[in-house]
Amino acid sequence: MEIYSSPVVRIEFDTTKKLLLQKWIGFASSVQFREAIDKTVEFVKGNQVKYMMSDTTEQKPVGPEESKYAASVMPQLFGGGVKAMAFVMPKNVITKLALSSFAKEKGMPDNVQYFDNVAEAETWLLKH
Amino acid sequence: MQTFPVPTVYEALNLVMKNFPDNISQETRVEVETLLDHCLDGLSACSEKFLTTLFIKAIRKHIGPSGTDEHIYLKKFEVPQIELFNLLIEQFPFVKKCHEIINDTILEVVGDASNIVIIDIGTGMGVQMNSLLKKLSASKTLRRVTLIGIEPFSEALDHAQSVISKVSCSFALNFIPVRSFIEEVDFEWIGVMIQRSGGDLVINESLALHHIKQQTDRHRVIKKLRGLNPKAFFLTEPNVDHYEPDFQRRFQNCYQHFYHVFQVIDQLPVDEVKRNGLKLFFGREIDDIIGGNEMDRVEKHEPAFRWIEKLLVNGFKPLNRFSKGAFNLGYGIKPEFDDFSGSLGLRFKNETVISLIHAVCDDEFLLD
């Protein structure tokens, strides 16, 4: 079911797999990006989300402050019951740099992994 | 911590530059900011990050300020001008070795002459001529040297005059300072000076002719110099096309050139602050090449073959004749004579960073 949708992101929840999927598209302004992050945190807090997948394949770069903001909510996500999180790698090289800054910001644990496609990411997630 | 392959900063910078200068949007500003943030993390230890930061600095004035100010990070690498100057002439092989090779070759050209005239275009603070005069002092035949130093900046020229006046020469030295851009020099007056002196003429230019903005002026100056009928004309020029009007191509040329220059700087036996201070010095050139507008740019380097073309059509011909005394260049730099262009290149890895040209008058060429 769809949780949230905007011109830059679509957030869906698979109730059977307990999987929350963020599908990012194009360039998000600071406000658009943070709103999507906040909606995600809000949903995780109120629902039984076990897995998260952030599909950034088509995402355009986010600024350093937005990367920090996203990294800052990770404890809330894992504290809210998320067991594992997978990122599907962006095509855009600068988005990749932003993602590496995000990873570096928090020092990602083993239950956060990066994949080239959605299928690989889902297979890994559902093993947890 | 899980990791993934992070793209090279060049890949990212290339993407940024594709949008510059005509397609700047909020998205491209975020790209620049993200790339800058990535580069500032570990800036001092990574040459590519430092270089990329200098490129971003060059374009920032066009796209406006954003979250991070790179000046704060770069400021700590500023080295006093005098230290930088000494570093360049004493340690930086692309300056030091070029001076040595050219000066040793001038010595061979002068041979056992008793009276010579030297025109030094872009004499700067007189470093190369100071060292040449010291070498010439070993000559047993030389009785008189007339040195015409052409330099547009008074401060540098005054310094050159002061330095040169202190050289203890075994011959009579007449230093004639000419404060002017080479394209504005009165060549008739120079001709009179040469005639009065009466000796063989040697012309040297080191990193000066590329400052002439227009091709027509470059040709005109070379033609005028040919009209002075020199025994030899030496050129030292960076072997890179920054005259290129297409921004994307110019960016790629510029990155490739300074990427290799910075790798040589990384090997210098000096501390990290000085190494980065030297890189910062080249940042001013990048500012001009990348950030300057077409009409104002002054660092309009051209590859050696283009200088040779200009020499050929104006009555000079290149010679494969350089003194090999200073050919042990170190730092992995190799001397390589290019038969096609007729120049001696100082090559590091796959980049000929700087080229030396030894030209003589083509006697079969008909002057106007």
Ordered DSSP codes for B27-71: HHHHHHHHHHHHHHTTGGG-HHHHHHHHHHHHHHHHH---S--HH
Same domain, B285 and B228: no
What are the tens digits of pLDDT across the range B127-184? 999 999 999 999 999 999 999 999 999 999 999 999 999 999 999 999 999 999 999 9
B101 and B156 share a domain? yes
What element of type H or E holds B205? strand B200-206
Does residue B188 share a domain with residue B322? Answer: yes
Predicted confidence (pLDDT) per residue in A57-79, tens digit: 999 999 999 999 999 999 999 99
Domain hosting A113: range is 2-126
Task: Examine residue B170 and state whether it is found in any structural domain, yes or no.
Answer: yes
Q: Are residues B185 and B307 in the same domain?
A: yes
What are B189-208's pLDDT values in tens digits?
A: 999 999 999 999 999 999 99
- Compare CB distances from B15 to A94, A103, A114 and report the shortest one's residue: A94
Q: What is the mean pLDDT of chain B?
A: 93
Q: Using CB atoms, which residue from B26, B35, B68 is nearest to A97? A: B35
Cβ of A94 within 8 Å of Cβ of B27? The answer is: no
The complex's ipTM works out to: 0.90
pLDDT for B64: 66
Using a CB–CB cutoff of 8 Å, tell me whether B18 touches chain A: no
d(CA B355, CA B301): 11
Interface residue of A29, A54, A59, A94 to substitute, partner B, most B CBs within 10 Å: A94
In this structure, is residue B357 part of a structural domain? yes
- For residue B365, what pLDDT is reported? 84
How many domains does one find in chain A?
Answer: 1
pLDDT by residue (tens digit) across B75-120? 888 888 888 888 999 999 999 999 999 999 999 999 999 999 999 9
For the stretch B119-129, what's the b/e string if a residue is b when 16 or more beta carbons lie within 10 angstroms of its beta carbon? bbbbbbbbbbb
A98, A103, A109: residue with CB nearest B34: A98
Answer whether residue B367 shows pLDDT above 80. Answer: no
Lowest mean pLDDT among A81-85, B151-155, B291-295, B342-346: B291-295
Q: Are residues B46 and B147 in the same domain?
A: no
Is B366 inside any structural domain?
no
Last-in-domain residue among B271, B291, B311: B291
The CA distance from A70 to A101, in Å, is 11
Q: Write out chain B residues lying below 8 Å of A60, CB-based.
A: 27, 30-31
CATH code for the domain of A81: 3.30.750.24
pLDDT by residue (tens digit) across B278-316? 999 999 999 999 998 888 999 999 999 999 999 999 999
Residues B148 and B211 in one domain: yes
Tokens standing for B343?
A: 């120049």
Is B65 near chain A, with CB under 8 Å? no
Contact A61 B34 (CB under 8 A): yes
Please tell me the distance in Å from B348's CA to the nearest CA on chain A: 29
Q: CA B223 → CA A12, A46, B116, B217, B258, distances in Å?
A: 73, 82, 21, 10, 31
Taking CA atoms, what residue in B is nearest to A99? Answer: B6
Interface contact B26-A97, CB threshold 8 A: no
Say if residue B60 is in the same domain as residue B115: no
The answer to whether residue B2 scores a pLDDT higher than 60 is no
Would you say residue B1 lies in a domain? no
**Predicted local confidence at residue B47, as pLDDT:** 94
Mean pLDDT to the nearest integer, A94-111: 82
Please check the confidence at residue B71 and state whether its pLDDT lies above 80.
Answer: no
Assess whether pLDDT exceeds 80 at residue B19: yes
Q: State the average pLDDT over residues B342-360.
A: 97
Average pLDDT over residues B240-251: 96
Is the previous residue joined to B21 through a cis bond, with omega within 30 degrees of 0?
A: yes
- Same domain? For B19 and B133 the reply is no
- Mean pLDDT confidence for B342-348: 96
Any bridge partners for residue B205, and if so which?
Answer: B121, B235
For the stretch A2-52, pLDDT in tens is 999 999 999 999 999 999 999 999 999 999 999 999 999 999 999 999 999
B133 lies in the same domain as B214? yes
Same-domain status, B234 and B256: no
**Same domain (yes/no): B35, B177:** no
Helix axes B47-63 and B9-18, enclosed angle (nearest 10): 20
Q: How confident is the model at residue B23 (pLDDT cuts 50, 70, 90)?
A: confident
Name the residue among A36, A20, A40 with its Cα closest to residue A28: A36
Domain that holds residue B104: 90-239+301-361
Statement: residue B1 has pLDDT above 60: no
The answer to whether the CB of A122 falls within 8 A of the CB of B55 is no
Q: Specify the number of domains making up chain B.
A: 2
Of B122-126, B144-148, B315-319, B321-325, which gets the smallest average pLDDT? B321-325
Nearest to A96 among B6, B16, B33 (CB): B6
* CATH assignment at residue B173: 3.40.50.150
**A23, amino acid identity:** K
| SS3 call for A51 | strand
Structural domain includes residue B123: yes
Percent of chain B with pLDDT over 90: 82
Confidence of residue B341 (pLDDT cuts 50, 70, 90): confident
> Residues B148, B225: one domain?
yes
